Amino acid sequence: MKTEEPESGFTMVEMMVVIGIIGVLIAVMIPTLLQARRPAQDRQAQNLLRNSLTAAKAIETSEGAVPTPAALAQEESAVVYVGGATNAPAGQRSVSVVNTTVGGLDYVILASFASSGRCFAVLEQSQGAPRFQRVDGGATCRASQFDTTTGWSSNWP
């Protein structure tokens, strides 16, 4: 007489429970991972502007000239510099540059769009410390959209 051995393995119900648990864990993790990307994208745009600010100061110091997009491109070739009225698109290592004079003081404004949807800008004046500004949720990021007198702070907001 032959006795039947019980089959080993998982039942369909057990497999569905495991798949359901994995699905819930993934659903919980995705928003967390997406939230971690935004600060990294912001930091990338900020670092791009810091490097561009260093290049602008080098041009002002060594050449005594105003840092134009062409001069900045020669100083920092890894960045695409565009005029102040041109949008600096996100994710393309692009910086919008405008030079302006207000009340006899020369200013340089550098702006860059982060992939997170925020526009970051740096205001540099030869007699003062750099000033910083952030605009959330705008469709454009141009250096010319920033006013030299309002909205600036001593660090990134």
Dihedral, 47, 116, 92, 124 alpha carbons, nearest 10: -40
The residue-averaged pLDDT of 6-10 equals 75
pLDDT tens-digit series, residues 25-61: 999 988 888 788 888 889 999 999 999 999 999 998 8
**AA letter at 120:** F
Q: What is the pTM of this model?
A: 0.78
- Please name the helix (run of DSSP H) or strand (run of DSSP E) that holds residue 57, with its range, or none: helix 12-63
- Read off the pLDDT of residues 96-155 as tens digits, 9 standing for 90 and up: 999 988 888 889 999 999 988 899 999 998 778 999 999 998 788 999 999 998 899 998
